[in-house]
Amino acid sequence: MKFNPSRYTEMQYRRCGVSGLKLPAISLGLWHNFGGVDDETVYRKTLHSAFDTGITHFDLANNYGPPPGSAETNFGKLLHTDFKSHRDELIISTKAGYTMWVGPYGDWGSKKYLVSSLDQSLKRMKLEYVDIFYHHRPDPETPLEETMATLDLIVRQGKALYVGISNYRKEEAAKAFKILKKLGTPCVIHQPKYSMFERWVEDGLLVLLEKEGVGCIPFSPLAQGLLTNRYLKGIPKNSRAAKKHGFLQKDQITKERLQQIQELNALAMERGQSLAQMALAWLLKDPRVTSVLVGASSSAQLMDSVSYLKNSTFSKDELSQIARILNAQQ
């Protein structure tokens, strides 16, 4: 495959905490749209477009699909054909922590589960190692020392270069960082849910990440599609909110929320960009944010996200307007 020779001049790269690792400002998440039920022609083009624009980081997890595991299988197939000669230019991450198989060893954070899960992920992607391996969520029953020691073991075994955590709150993250640092395998990145509408990370977590030299890569930066033009006039058919099962429910889209979306969209239009582009720029204005994970159902949708680069700064007045809109309904 021939890719855009100028791809590395078109993307911003940011250092991940105090580590030597750099990530593109926009990373591609394979949570949706890359599973066994999806069209290979479409997601193959999306992956090509991503790399052509300098997106070097592809983020997966053991259970991404559907069915679970199929995103890793599909990605692995294309990695060894279309991207075969570019492995060393890519950052590939995966995770374990949510339900993957039945029985007591297919979930959470035990050594048994994490080691087995990563071995399965490596087989699906036909890789010897991943660049980043995350624990996907805290386990209330397994000692944190066991989970973190397993991350350390995985690095020492050569199955991952770096380790990270996801969905950990400030107190949990602080304990994890301390354990990993003592073991000699410091955490390099935290993946929390963070957007204009989901801001719990601002309650001390971002300060902790800066203090500990850990990078931050928010997922769901567009609030499951709320921070796009899809919901400007209400809940569209076939949207995530229109479905009975999913992370975005109808009752979350109140009259007040729609008003916020419409006001934010008006400001984005004044800035000459889409609401989604402004929402990404708003997150990336913070130097503590290393990269943002975007999903994409098509190449065109991904290119819209990358276009935030054309206007990634804010005036004081714009930031004040955004703060007023976001705080109005809180």
Residue 234 within a domain: no
49: CATH = 3.20.20.100
Residue 317 within a domain: no
- CB-neighbour burial class of residue 175 (10 A; exposed 0-12, middle 13-18, buried 19+): middle
Instruction: Extract the tokens encoding 198.
Output: 């989901």
Element (H, E) at 13: strand 13-15
294 lies in which domain range? Answer: 7-228+286-308
pLDDT in tens, the chain (330 residues): 899 999 999 899 999 999 999 999 999 999 999 999 999 999 999 999 999 999 999 999 999 999 999 999 999 999 999 999 999 999 999 999 999 999 999 999 999 999 999 999 999 999 999 999 999 999 999 999 999 999 999 999 999 999 999 999 999 999 999 999 999 999 999 999 999 999 999 999 999 999 999 999 999 999 999 999 887 765 655 555 444 545 555 666 888 999 999 999 999 999 999 999 999 999 999 999 999 999 999 999 999 999 998 999 999 999 999 999 999 654
| Strand, coil or helix: 28 | strand
Instruction: Extract the tokens encoding 91.
Output: 């950052």
Alpha-carbon distance of 141 to 75, in angstroms, equals 33
Residue 293 within a domain: yes
Residue 67 within a domain: yes
Residue 136 within a domain: yes
Q: Which strands, in side-by-side order, build the sheet including 160-166?
A: 215-216, 189-191, 160-166, 130-135, 91-96, 57-59, 26-29, 292-294
The total of structural domains in the chain comes to 1
The answer to whether residues 216 and 190 touch, using CB atoms and an 8 Å cutoff, is yes
- CB-neighbour burial class of residue 106 (10 A; exposed 0-12, middle 13-18, buried 19+): middle
Residue 141 within a domain: yes
